[in-house]
Amino acid sequence: MKGKAIIFSAPSGAGKTTIVHSLLDRLPFLRFSISATTRSKRPNEVDGKDYYFLDLEDFKEKCNAGELLEWEEVYSETFYGTLKSEVERIWSQGNHVVFDVDVIGGKKLKHILGDQSLSIFIKVKDVSVLRERLKFRNTEDDATLDMRVKKAAKEMKEEVHFDQVIVNDNLDLAISEVENMVKSFVSRS
């Protein structure tokens, strides 16, 4: 039997990754899907743990061979995608797969996996909240911050394409809501 898939998407700063990590800690039947990428490995990253780091030629060969469930060129010559073998590995171990992907990737995965998946969109009440959260991180200059907020405003309109929408204005409550949703979804036949 194949497992199920839980797809999380959100604009930057909505708290998606924090929620995903909390869920993985709480629910032992969930496993994180490690994405493949052509971007360079950062000093603290481990191949096969953070990402599967592939060179551009290898990534394109896997695309052409149909080995990727979905993929996207996020920046020029920088690709990200989901290896079918990664999902099959998780399912073969009797677990359910969790995806932490951007909005476009979330929509693609939902389209491909259909009823076998639950897509959850994490949002905040207003784009100004995202701006404040991203500013608080202190990882962006003003130009990058403006670009990310502009992108987030467009992404917020995509929530209609997801099965469930969670407003993350109280992290503990959002985690609890998501946990209950996921438990209910995976318990269905």
- What are the extents of the domains in the chain? 5-183
Residue 150 pLDDT more than 90?
no
**First and final CA of the chain: distance in angstroms?**
11
Homologous superfamily in CATH for domain 5-183: P-loop containing nucleotide triphosphate hydrolases (3.40.50.300)
pLDDT tens per residue, range 152-188: 788 889 999 999 999 999 999 999 999 999 999 999 9
Only one residue has tokens 């959260």, namely 133
What pLDDT sits at residue 139?
A: 66
Q: What is the pLDDT of residue 83?
A: 97
Predicted confidence band of residue 142 (pLDDT cuts 50, 70, 90): confident
pLDDT in tens, 58-81: 999 999 999 999 998 877 889 999
In terms of pTM, does the model score above 0.85?
yes
Produce one character per residue of 96-133: b if its CB has 16 or more CB atoms within 10 Å, e if not: bbbbbbbbebbbbbbeebeeebbbbbbbbeebebbbee
Which tokens hold the place of 59? 């990534």
